[in-house]
Structure 1
Amino acid sequence: MSVDFELSSAQKKLKYDVREFAREVLRPAAERADRIDDPHEAFVAMKPVFEQAHAMGLATDFLPAKYGGGGGSIIDLMIATEELSAVDAGFPTILLVNGLALMPLTWFGTREQCEKWIGLATAETSTDHLGGWVVSERGGTANFDHPSPTAGIQLVADHDRANGEYVLNGEKHWPCNAGGWDLRGADANLCIVRTDRTKGGKEALSAIVVERGTPGIEYEVIDKIGLRTCQNVTMTFRDVRVPEENLFADGDGDLVINRNFTWSGPLAGIAAVGVARGAYEFALKWSKTYTGGGSSPIIGHQAVGHLLAEIAAKIESGRYLCWKAAHYLDKYDSEGHALGAMAKTFCGDLMQTVVVDCMRIVGVNAVDRKFGMEKFYREAIVFPLYDSGSLGMQRRKAWGVMADPGFTPDIFVDGDPFTYTKSMEGYGVLGGAPPGPSRHG
């Protein structure tokens, strides 16, 4: 059969192994951490869980085998992500951001850079390695590909050729993992920087790896209402000196952003499915035991039964869209920008309606913190906003792909390749289509 949704025996084992880990190890730790007032202490409290997940390969299995990773597929990573997210959505974010920090090296970096930075993450002595994905800024970066040099990314990296360094000045807001366990920085922070002060976002951006402990950076932890088990910070750069050999994708930082958020899109989508599934499992169990003061469980009421059936259908549809996107990205090395974006935005929006409907089934007890349902609500709020935002980069990226003359609605259903190019960028940054005709290839 050309269409097959059957999990292999290895994938089924992965699913149930991670489910056991999520329920037995992650859940009690996440429940404790979620109640800690200090956001950095809440993150640090998850370190022992991270180390156990690392020992299982969950932090490195998706990295290429030739650099020490497990060489696993995006679909495998997706199976694990759903199981973790059904219990706590913040923790798998820590793992996935390791990928956002390191996967761009495999697409745009040199072999030497991959061997160095991915090798550090996959070394046998590394049990708590963190990578940070540092792109967002306080003024907003949804329009990172704006043609003006004063819009979009404003963390500037000036080349000091005499000393063989880049000097970074500016600020980043919301990067995940970037502060590290001790606020001295992640082991490797992949930063998108402006290397040309005179050009727009399609020509002026690059990527650079900033090592842990690099002087001149201040970290301030952001206190969030949801996903409290992962870390987000504000980073301030003041004359931060980084070796020039740490730079890559010179002038193509825009493509790094788009491809990275394509890789993460269906993973964020399946994380949303996981949250929705967690809420659904809670509501389903509740409906089979709670009577609402009547003589029988409320699942016997038509309104509850119909709503549960609709909830289940939404979860199934979201899961299979993510699986389709992952299959396509595995096939074409994460080139599937519109499909990845659709998986993320569709599931993020779908999950919010599912969680609210589950709360309606549970009733007023859903807002009592002792039952745990309110945590699903707090996490549901985050999904349309993070991972480049459903109304920000993700839908605009899909728009640019579909506007290209070479695009047809059959591309994804037929599984044909479709490469993302700079001509597909810039849509919406000036209120409409980018200047000049769009050309694929």
Structure 2
Amino acid sequence: MKNLMQSFSNIKSLIKSIDFAKLNELSQKVDLNEMVGVVSQMSEGDLAKMMKMMKGGSGKKRELPAVNGDFYSLESTLQPHEKEIVLKVREFMEKEIRPIANEYWNKGHFPMHIIPKMAELNIAGLTYKGYGCPGHSALLEGFLAMEMARVDTSMSTFFGVQSGLAMGSIYVCGSEEQKLEWLPKMQKMTVIGAFGLTEPKVGSGVAGGLTTTCKREGDEWVINGQKKWIGNATFSDITIIWARDLDDQQVKGFIVRKDNPGFHAEKIENKMALRTVQNALITMKDCRVPESDRLQNANSFKDTSEILRMTRAGVAWQAVGCGRGAYEAALKYTNEREQFGRPIAGFQLVQDLLVTMLGDLTAMQTMVYRLSKMQDTGELKDEHASLAKVFCTLRMRTIVDHSRELFGGNGILLEYDIARFVADAEAIYSYEGTKEINSLIVGRAITGHSAFV
């Protein structure tokens, strides 16, 4: 009873503290005597709740959970030195790339000034041993691909071409002399590389026959043909070109320098995705390359496939990064966007979408985590990388679609980032093998029958 009287006294004090003008205004709307009567019959618990409400709660703003797409804490399994590298790359992406990502994407330009800064991270050729390369795990490489893509997929793609496709071609298929000449410079990013495999009329069917040809004439090779969608090629110092040998019909690889006579790279304009990436249409007319610049250990398409197997795993990690960036952007936005007097994050349908997105994202993360573990132990096969590419890019599309939905009309504005994620997701879905081609690779492995035409 004593507590009840004290609470009643507190309420009277609160009412007395209202100035007369407001009290008079309140009396026109509410019967104060009746209100006091109702209050006097309230339980102590209800009085306490009302007092808390009248005082504005506890006086402290409720702290919301951190925006973090790593729901199963996979990052915590990394070694301390690996976590340090991840945090270093994360800081670089947040400070150097995020503020300029939309601007350069919109203009379709590449921020050349960031290349020396990226080189300072010392992450190019991350998994290679020797030649100035760090020699870290494929798992760490995957985490870094995700960190880049969650901020800017274009930047992740640029780095993947440099560190994975271009450097990887020399590391896997080059002679010892070629590795010593190029890999240290590419690791420091003083030499930028590109990778030319896809052609205007040959994409999924590259294994069945390239139209770009090469023929040996003495100590030189003469290359003729075109390559399309070649990232970095408008400003790369060297481009790895894959061509069909007219003599034995086998695929050969070449290191073609940017000033090589007969080599011309033209920027592809009017793209709707990965606009920051400088894709080129390459035309080679009697392009002469010395035998010393032929990749000495690239003698068939099987050698090319070995490189694609490694980089396809990286693309799956990029898809995770793109999906994570979209999910985290949506989660942050729903806590800031208010409708009907409160943040939309508090509505059931919004939470249902967020949980669906998180479930897809977590499934993607655990799949590529295992994929990289298999790569580190030498168990990785084509079908393993292909399944991850199929699944992760499909789920990525779903995540960015749900995220775009949560942004409403703002989702089509570049300033909210999500429009960029939606567009870039379409490129990731297609490159490094379409869903259909990768599905057939997996199908062949599980059934024993090849369904390729």
TM over 0.5: yes
Deviation at 1:429, TM superposition (A): 4.1
| Residue of structure 2 in register with 1:258 after alignment | 305
Give the whole-Å Cα distance in 2 for the aligned partners of 1:5 and 1:228: 34
SS at match of 2:430: coil
Rg (Cα) greater in structure? 2
TM-score, structure 2 as length reference: 0.79
SS at match of 2:211: coil
| Residue of structure 2 in register with 1:342 after alignment | 387
Give the whole-Å Cα distance in 1 for the aligned partners of 2:182 and 2:440: 31
Give the whole-Å Cα distance in 1 for the aligned partners of 2:343 and 2:80: 37
Q: Partner amino acid for 1:31? A: N
Deviation at 1:390, TM superposition (A): 2.5
Moved over 6 A (4+): none
Deviation at 1:211, TM superposition (A): 2.0
Evaluate the alpha carbon distance shift between residue 118 and residue 369 of structure 1 in structure 2; reply closer, same or farther with a 3 A threshold: closer
Deviation at 1:210, TM superposition (A): 1.1
Of 371, 386, 411, which residue of structure 2 is paired with 1:366?
A: 411
Of 422, 427, 430, which residue of structure 2 is paired with 1:377?
A: 422
Note if contact 2:150-2:325 (Cα within 8 Å) is conserved in structure 1.
yes
Deviation at 1:58, TM superposition (A): 2.6
Of 189, 206, 210, which residue of structure 2 is paired with 1:144?
A: 206
1:4-403 alignment to 2 at 5 Å? 6-36=77-107, 39=108, 42-43=109-110, 46-64=111-129, 66-98=130-162, 99-122=164-187, 126-146=188-208, 152-161=209-218, 164-180=219-235, 186-196=236-246, 199=249, 204-223=250-269, 224-248=271-295, 252-292=299-339, 294-332=340-378, 335-392=380-437, 394-403=438-447
Give the whole-Å Cα distance in 2 for the aligned partners of 1:369 and 1:100: 30
Q: Partner amino acid for 1:167? A: V
Deviation at 1:110, TM superposition (A): 2.2
Give the whole-Å Cα distance in 2 for the aligned partners of 1:403 and 1:113: 40
Give % identity: 23
SS at match of 2:265: strand
Q: Partner amino acid for 1:116? A: E
Q: Partner amino acid for 1:23? A: E
Structure that is richer in helix per residue? 2
TM-score, structure 1 as length reference: 0.81
Evaluate the alpha carbon distance shift between residue 376 and residue 306 of structure 1 in structure 2; reply closer, same or farther with a 3 A threshold: same
Deviation at 1:250, TM superposition (A): 6.5
SS at match of 2:282: strand
Unaligned 5+ residue runs, structure 2?
Answer: 1-73
Give the whole-Å Cα distance in 2 for the aligned partners of 1:349 and 1:403: 22
Aligned residues: 378
Deviation at 1:399, TM superposition (A): 3.2
Give the whole-Å Cα distance in 2 for the aligned partners of 1:92 and 1:222: 19
Note if contact 1:117-1:188 (Cα within 8 Å) is conserved in structure 2.
no
Note if contact 1:191-1:207 (Cα within 8 Å) is conserved in structure 2.
yes
Give the whole-Å Cα distance in 1 for the aligned partners of 2:128 and 2:382: 20
Q: Partner amino acid for 1:191? A: I
Deviations 1:185-214 (A, max 9, x none): x22211111013564xxxx21111112311
SS at match of 1:167: strand
